[in-house]
Amino acid sequence: MSKMLRFVGVDSPLKFYAVVPDAQWVERMVRAGADTVQLRTKTISGDALLQEIMRCVKACEGSRTKLFINDYWQEAIAAGAHGVHLGQEDMDDADLQEIADAGLRLGLSTHSVAELDRALSVNPSYVASGAVFPTTTKVMKSEPQGLEKLREYVRQAGNTPVVAIGGIDLNNAREVLSTGVASLAVVRAVTEAADPEAAVKAFQALWD
């Protein structure tokens, strides 16, 4: 893997980062004023997927919300998304140079010191570290990392923003932020909230 890769940095802090399953949720997060939103869909493909991503891009146009597309980097480039988020295994298959050349930001998932080291070697726009706490949104191959390890990852990442993810809610969010992470990524704390818009505002108030 080339050491010369360098991705565009994030032009404003990622802060509150909502991970949602479809364009309707992306639109809802944009209206709520979320700083960052990721489309993570596993249910559509082909032209329907491209249309869904294009709808998300359109929703974010003219707003302050940054849009990252999980996994589908080719469609993200075609649709003109702000960035792409990839897992460790995706680093083997994705054309990182093409993503960089297209001017998209790149976020990479990490779950250990070794994975973080590998991610940092390609100069991504940010790294995501987790799961901080136990989570039910996906099957985790690693144990929850906890706050002490998260602090170590923040130190290891240096100037690269760290997004904390996994089991984060309003009860533990302040503790997570105290580790020095740049951003809190949540799934259920928004999608299962009684009032998702109020949840966005409550999370964002943690940075005030």
Does 159 belong to an annotated binding site? no
Does 109 belong to an annotated binding site? yes
Tokens of 208: 């005030």
Does 117 belong to an annotated binding site? no
Return all residues near 30 (Cβ < 8 A) that are at least 6 apart. 37, 59, 60, 63, 65
Does 39 belong to an annotated binding site? yes
Does 141 belong to an annotated binding site? no
Contact 105/77 with Cβ under 8 angstroms? no
Tell which residue, 149, 137, 142, has the closest CA to residue 187: 137
Does 136 belong to an annotated binding site? yes
CA angle (17 as vertex; 11, 23 as ends), nearest 5: 100
Does 55 belong to an annotated binding site? no
Does 86 belong to an annotated binding site? no
Does 71 belong to an annotated binding site? yes
Does 125 belong to an annotated binding site? no
Does 156 belong to an annotated binding site? no
Does 41 belong to an annotated binding site? yes
Number of residues in the chain: 208
Residues annotated as binding site for Mg(2+)?
A: 71, 90
Residues annotated as binding site?
A: 38-42, 70-71, 90, 109, 135-138, 167
